[in-house]
Structure 1
Amino acid sequence: MKNRKTPQDIPETKPVKLKPLFGVKPGVYLSVIYGLALLMLLFFLLIFPGLKKNGARVEFDTQPMGAAIFVDQRYVGSSPTEVFIEKGTHDIRVEKEAFRTLETDLRVPGRIVGSLIFPKRLEKKYELELHGLAEYLQSQYLRISDWALVGDFYDRYRYPELMRRSLEALEGFEAAEDSDLYYFLYMLTNNISEAELLADFNRALELALGREYEPNATEASDMAEHIATLLNESSSSTNFNRDLYMLTWSLLFEEDPADTELYDRLQQRIDTLDFRRYYNRDEVRSDELEVRGHRFVHVPAPSSAPVGNEDISIAEVSRVEELNTLPHMEKIGPFYLASTEVTRGQFSDFIRENPRWGPGNKKQLTDSGLVDEQYLDFMDQGNVETMLRGNNLPVSHVSWYAAQAYCRWLTEQLPLELRELYQVRLPSEAQWEFAARMNGETPLISADRGYNGAQAASSHREGALGLVDLQGNLWEWQHNWYFPTDLIDGAYGLADSPEKFDLEGREKALRGGSWVQNQDQVPVWQRAGHPPHWSSPFVGFRPALVPLESIEEQEG
């Protein structure tokens, strides 16, 4: 058992007593010390922060939102944003694409006492002046097109509701007429390739209509009717496909369409398209034009004809991507098409007369966004003469812009009597597809037939029209833009020059496939797209000779 201590065993404690300091009693100088400590605490809490950072927290807001804010030439954020600015007068600059840059002075007050707890705050809201409606809508359209072409979205790349915000930003601007915004909405139907984009489109439509919709297929029919009504009010020559819009909604939201007759109507529309009647090779005639080494053959297209995958059934469609190849009618009209793809030798003639597009100017062309680093990469040290070693090979590594420049140059080479009637340009997808169908099947230059590179032009059998290698060899640039959900507006790539304004996309259409694909991978209706500055080794081009009257009818 342990011994327990008794009170007698615990030593007596003696109290500690502070001695006077310089004759000052402890009670006095301790009070002084505590007081000084409290004063120091209050100083560093209430005064020192204001002395160190004397200024205010400024909250910037703009109409529209998303403008870049610069303070004394330093970027501080995108509106709405809050930033601390020191006391004094500062230069403020506000920038947003398609809006006039705003420059002004801002006098910022300060606060010394209590700034840490009760900081000085200042709110500044700036209304930007719209530089031009078309410029603004174009900038927003390109941003939306970028997202539409991405494909599947992920959490780390959350879509920022650009369609709704685009319309919100225009509220209160007199320059933005309702009819313009309705047409913008119509153009956006080409980009609803994902559920997030469709939901954003619906919210933008809600904003335009001033009402709300439930995000389900039951509401799709009602919304489609309102879109058609809005387009009629805008007095624009549109061809909105109400049923295809509803089917897109159903596929993206993975819901059965509320309209039980939707599939039947779409299938009936397909069944009425008689491809055999339009592609009658008995009407082929021997009519050719020679222009600067090109043999242009006549393509007897009617004013309109069916294009697309004639073998598809609406019941088989399970993905939005498949809607882009549905059979439909396109405006075409007779035209001429080059019998072969443009060769290296022909392109070298163009470069000699237009050195701006030569390999020696690649850096400037790249910096201007007209080509990429692969432009004319097949050439040896940039020497034009090396092109002639394979002068009959189709030219590749050329951008859409370079192909367009070649067509403009070739237009200038036309005899005067032809220049008054025709323009050289890249064919539209509809023109290309009609020509390919009329030309008939020919042996393809493709991977499954043992080819490991592009082959010389005119080295293969011609088709019924006299055209060579429309399919296989190289993909071919097309005139029109490529969008993920083109056909909701009823045509490939929209009209070239819509009634109100022309909105450019991010990709130009391609047709035909190349030698790296197998024959069954690139049927005549297969579509693809590339950014127009890309200069791919698998892409070339073939010019068309199109009547000016036809261009005016289709673009006017």
Structure 2
Amino acid sequence: MKFYKKNKDLPKVDPVKIKPLFGMEPGKWLTIAYAIGLVLIIFFVAILPDIIDGQKRVTFTSTSGIVAVYVDDVYKGGTPFTTKIDSGKHQVSYRVNGFEIDNFTIKVGHPVFLNWLFPRTQKVSSNAALTAEAIESRTAQLLDDVNAYSAILEYDDVHRYPSLFSQYAASTGSACNADALKAAMQFVTTDAMCQDAKAALDTLGLSLAIPYASLNENSTIGTADEETPVVTAKSSKLRTDIMTVEGFAISEADFSNGREVTATYPSVMEAGKQVHTDSFNISAYCITEYQYAQFTAANPDWALANKDALIEAGLVDAYYLDGVTLSLTTATNKPIRNISWYAADAFCQWLSSVSGVTVYLPTEDQWIAASLTDTEGGFQKSLMPSTADGSPAAMLGSVWEMTGTRFIPLSRIATEDVSSVLDDYDVQTDMVVKGGSYVSDMKSIDRYSVGVVSRSLCSDFMGFRIAWN
């Protein structure tokens, strides 16, 4: 048996020694190496990213509310906002709907230490007031915006109300257009808009009526005629070298254009007001496919072949003349359909030029006056109209009929007519249509029912008749 010693001697090993480098002892050159490594880490982590990025966060603000900011003629956003801008000198332009209100040069710094982690922000502000042109543009924008937002009756996380009145008050101040504000108040249709309008008026120190604020679901509003007013109709004609339009001369009349309704929106759209209409003429029937064919033949821009251009111009939609066959050889009493309000208005302008008589779409009140001549109150349950016997045919049923009346949501309970203000700013409001169509429920449609359509809408259930003085 072989025995080993418990404490066996280990082999001798030479100690490890770090050699000198460039004549420096290890303790010295290792310290330098660690320092260089630390510097490189700091450089690559804290400095190099900002050198490569070459930008700085810049916050743009304006005392004139939401203003478009252009940097070197490139749009960056609407105040207030923050974005990254390249370091160096830049030309900044503040604009409102294309009108410049301020222009200056800024120098953007270039922070290079941990700016990516702790970003430094440079502030740029403009105290410039709006120019007269910018105020007019902002006023037009307010009217366009309230017209659009009045159609939204509930707001949520998707549809948010943007405080249109307060923004206008903040940007225009004492230079605001009070008449335009009066018009805008008639488009207030929700509590959110109403509170915003009140806040804006407080800011401006103005006292203007807000029709919506007077609504109360526990009360009624509007007047109705106790008896059907007597309105007479006599046969008349509009003669041209191209066509003859059968019509009726409608006597002047005084009547209510609606009924008594609950004082809530949208019920007040049909609230009755006492109105007066002077005598006028109205076509016995809606304009027919044959008559519209004569219009498109004389005006190729409105022909079906030019549909794409009309759509691009926003004058019609994709259903323009859809399913309608226009013929110059076959006369028909079938109402023209799938044409827009713009197309109907263009037809009236053309007929005015060839007849020498001012032709137009009847107003809502004129349409009601003409309907009052039909004492039997018939409802046309087919597209083809009945015979015009003593009064205009098929005013209820057949097709919804376009009018020349703007749809202003609270106009029926407002004390002022603001149509001229909207005309001045060319606000493209929706338009009122009357009478229902042959597919409507005849129990829910009468002469006081109010329909609303956009000006470019084309519908298989909508046409028009004309009026002239």
Alignment TM-score > 0.5, same fold = yes
* 1:467 aligned residue: 392
Cα distance 1:357–1:479, how it changes in 2: closer, same or farther (>3 A)? same
For residues 91-102 of structure 1, the aligned pairs below 5 Å read 92-97=92-97, 99-100=99-100
* 1:336 aligned residue: 281
* Equivalent-residue separation in structure 2 for 1:365 and 1:331 (angstroms): 37
* Equivalent-residue separation in structure 1 for 2:340 and 2:434 (angstroms): 15
Q: 3-state DSSP class of the match of 1:123?
A: strand
* 2:187 aligned residue: 191
Does residue 129 of the first structure (1) align with residue 131 of the second (2)?
Answer: yes
Match of 1:247 among 214, 237, 241: 214
* 2:458 aligned residue: 535
Amino acid in structure 2 at the alignment position of 1:160: P
Superimposed CA distance per residue, residues 246-297 of structure 1 (whole angstroms, 9 cap, x where no aligned partner):
432x44xxxx7xxxxxx4xx66x73xx6452x7125xx25352333321221
Q: 3-state DSSP class of the match of 1:483?
A: coil
Amino acid in structure 2 at the alignment position of 1:462: A
41-50 vs 533-542, greater mean Cα deviation: 41-50
* Equivalent-residue separation in structure 2 for 1:138 and 1:347 (angstroms): 34
Amino acid in structure 2 at the alignment position of 1:296: G
Does residue 431 of the first structure (1) align with residue 366 of the second (2)?
Answer: yes
Unmatched 5+ stretches in structure 1: 1-16, 211-225, 229-241, 257-262, 547-556
Q: Percent same amino acid at aligned positions?
A: 20
* 1:38 aligned residue: 38
Aligned length: 448
* 1:149 aligned residue: 151
Cα distance 1:18–1:151, how it changes in 2: closer, same or farther (>3 A)? farther
Cα distance 1:144–1:428, how it changes in 2: closer, same or farther (>3 A)? same
* 2:432 aligned residue: 509
* Equivalent-residue separation in structure 2 for 1:285 and 1:393 (angstroms): 23
* Equivalent-residue separation in structure 2 for 1:305 and 1:164 (angstroms): 39
Q: Are the aligned partners of 2:96 and 2:138 in contact in 1 as well (CA < 8 Å)? A: no
* Equivalent-residue separation in structure 1 for 2:48 and 2:433 (angstroms): 67
* 2:234 aligned residue: 286
* Equivalent-residue separation in structure 1 for 2:298 and 2:151 (angstroms): 37
For residues 231-246 of structure 1, the aligned pairs below 5 Å read 245-246=212-213
Superimposed CA distance per residue, residues 107-152 of structure 1 (whole angstroms, 9 cap, x where no aligned partner):
4343445645473624242735342544432222111211111332
Superimposed CA distance per residue, residues 414-438 of structure 1 (whole angstroms, 9 cap, x where no aligned partner):
35xxx4xxx2111111111121123
Computing the radius of gyration over CA atoms, which structure comes out larger, 1 or 2? 2
Higher helix share: 1
* 1:523 aligned residue: 446
Cα distance 1:500–1:208, how it changes in 2: closer, same or farther (>3 A)? farther
Higher strand share: 2
Cα distance 1:391–1:21, how it changes in 2: closer, same or farther (>3 A)? farther
Amino acid in structure 2 at the alignment position of 1:425: Y
CA-CA distance at 1:202 after TM superposition: 1.5
Cα distance 1:196–1:118, how it changes in 2: closer, same or farther (>3 A)? closer
For residues 35-114 of structure 1, the aligned pairs below 5 Å read 35-44=35-44, 46-72=46-72, 74-90=74-90, 92-97=92-97, 99-100=99-100, 106-112=106-112
Unmatched 5+ stretches in structure 2: 1-14
Superimposed CA distance per residue, residues 54-91 of structure 1 (whole angstroms, 9 cap, x where no aligned partner):
34322222353333334455443222112221223445
434-443 vs 333-342, greater mean Cα deviation: 434-443
Q: Are the aligned partners of 2:96 and 2:137 in contact in 1 as well (CA < 8 Å)? A: no
430-439 vs 84-93, greater mean Cα deviation: 84-93
Does residue 479 of the first structure (1) align with residue 460 of the second (2)?
Answer: no
Amino acid in structure 2 at the alignment position of 1:62: S
Superimposed CA distance per residue, residues 8-62 of structure 1 (whole angstroms, 9 cap, x where no aligned partner):
xxxxxxxxx9743437666445533442333234324553244223343222223
Q: 3-state DSSP class of the match of 2:61?
A: strand
* 1:22 aligned residue: 20
CA-CA distance at 1:518 after TM superposition: 1.6
Does residue 357 of the first structure (1) align with residue 302 of the second (2)?
Answer: yes
* Equivalent-residue separation in structure 2 for 1:285 and 1:488 (angstroms): 30
Q: 3-state DSSP class of the match of 2:158?
A: helix
TM-score (norm 1): 0.72
Amino acid in structure 2 at the alignment position of 1:437: L
Superimposed CA distance per residue, residues 509-544 of structure 1 (whole angstroms, 9 cap, x where no aligned partner):
111111121211211111011110111111111111
Does residue 300 of the first structure (1) align with residue 251 of the second (2)?
Answer: yes
Q: 3-state DSSP class of the match of 1:336?
A: strand
Q: Are the aligned partners of 2:235 and 2:249 in contact in 1 as well (CA < 8 Å)? A: yes
Cα distance 1:371–1:126, how it changes in 2: closer, same or farther (>3 A)? farther
Q: 3-state DSSP class of the match of 1:320?
A: coil
Q: Are the aligned partners of 2:252 and 2:277 in contact in 1 as well (CA < 8 Å)? A: yes
CA RMSD of aligned residues (A): 3.1
Cα distance 1:502–1:427, how it changes in 2: closer, same or farther (>3 A)? farther
Match of 1:206 among 197, 202, 207: 202
